[in-house]
Amino acid sequence: MNGRPSPTALADEVAERARPGGIPFARLAGGRWRLNGEERFGLLLVGPSLLLLLLVSAMPLGLLLGTSLFRVELTKPWATGFVGLGNYLQMLEDARFWHSLGVTVLYTGTTVVLQTVLGLAFALALAEEMRGRNLLRTVVLLPMILTPVVVGLVWRTLLLTPRYGLLDYIAQLVGVGSHSWLGDPALALGAVIVMHTWQWTPFAFLVFSASLAALPVEPFEAAKLEPVTAWQRLRYITLPLLRPAIVTVVVVRTIVALRAFDAIFAATGGGPGTATEILNLYAYRVAFNNLNLGYGAALASTLLLATAAMTVGFGRVRAVVEEPR
């Protein structure tokens, strides 16, 4: 350990200060908040960014939650008014909401599992020294650099177009046959899941590669002295050591997949019918196409709360997982 306080120590101090009855940030004296010079200077420093954050992040958020309690339909301007939890109750009977929620869960779950497994596989494969490793790494990382909208359009027009698309051509070569990948309700959701997985597996790959490179060498050296198979080494040494990285990947990718929008929007627009309509897309349509801002806000708030709950939940899991280290 070097002489600097560890990040954990700093965090502990902040937590201690924030605790009621802990070291006070500002002392209450004579009924007024009084800051000492250093604290005042600190506040001055963070003030502008704090204000900006409130303005661009907290305020719209509050507005969103507020709007979700009102009936605001631009097509029925005379009907505007406070409805309390009415919009949320309406959701319970809205088949399209439940459908889109189901699509979101399926989409998120599948793509996160695929990304994690594939990312890990690539990282393990490219962990060993070999010719062309750097080139391969670059190739694996490329999709992540693209904008999701571009990915959606490229997949729709260049890769999956029946008869002309590259992937459709390959499908014909291997005997699967030409299909309307994004137009057939049975295939469209699978196609957008593959699309998302293709774009974001590089992220998992990146995290796993870095973690693998930083693993302690001792357990592996010890294993060399024992008659262990490669599978046993992976199962009992590598994977347990990678556990924190796996949790990180799953958490981050889940949150991002829940927020997915652009690629699907560009590739299928949620169709055919509503086959690929994730909750985010449905909320967008309700608010900006149907101009039902109140209900749209309620849908978006639901997604937001679900994502937030997920984040908190994962935080707990992660704390537990990382403990034994």
Partner 1 sequence: MERITRREMLRATALGAAALYLDRLGAAAWGGAEPDAYASARINWRQLAGERIHILVTPAHYFTKFRSITPEFTRLTGIEVTFEVIPPREMREKAVLDLGARTGNYASHTADPMYLPLYAANNWVEPLDLFLNDDKLTDRKWFDLEDIIPLWRRANTVRGRLWGMPVEGEVTIHIYRRDVYERLGLRPPETLEELRENARRAHSPAQNLFGLALRGFRGPGQNMYIWPSLFRAFGGQWFDHAGRPTVNSEAGVRSLEWYVSVLREFAPKGVENWNWPEIMEAFAAGTLVQYIDANSTASVIENPAKSKVAGQVGYRRWPKGPAGKRVTSIWNWAMPINAALPARKKQATWLYIQWLASRPTQIRSATFKETPDAVVRTGVNRVSIWRDPGYRRVIAFTPDYADVVLTSLREDTDPDWRPRIPEWPEIGEVMAIAVQEALVGRKTPKQALDDANAELRRILRR
Q: Which stretch binds partner 1 (CB under 8 A): 33-41, 112-120, 155-163, 317-325?
A: 155-163
For tokens 């699907």, the residue is 264
Continuous segment of H or E residues that includes residue 32: strand 32-34
- Pick 219 or 269: Cβ nearer partner 1: 269
CA 257/CA 7 separation, integer angstroms: 30
Measured from the CB atom, the residue of 87 and 116 that comes closer to partner 1 is: 87
SS3 181: coil
When asked if residue 285 is in the footprint of partner 1 (CB under 8 A), the reply is yes
The one among 87, 292, 301, 302 contacting partner 1 by CB under 8 A: 292
179 near partner 1, rule: CB under 8 A:
yes
Angle at Cα 185 formed by Cα 184 and Cα 188, nearest 5°? 75
> Which one-letter DSSP state was computed for residue 158?
I
The CB-side HSE value for 44 (13 A sphere, CA atoms) comes to 7
Instruction: Compute the least distance from the CB of residue 164 to partner 1, in Å.
Output: 9
* Window contacting partner 1 (CB under 8 A); options: 129-137, 243-251, 262-270, 303-311: 262-270
Q: Does 288 bind partner 1 (CB under 8 A)?
A: yes
Assess 161 for contact with partner 1 (CB under 8 A): yes
Query: Structure tokens of 48?
Result: 């502008």
Residues 173 and 290: beta-carbon distance below 8 Å: no
State how far the alpha carbon of 184 is from the alpha carbons of 50, 71, 95, 149, 167, in Å: 48, 36, 21, 21, 15
82 binds partner 1 (CB under 8 A): no
Footprint (CB under 8 A) of partner 1, residues 187-246? none
Verify binding: residue 253, partner 1, rule CB under 8 A. Answer: no
Count of residues in the chain: 325
List residues near partner 1 by CB under 8 A: 73-77, 156, 161-163, 178-180, 182-185, 268-275, 285, 288-292
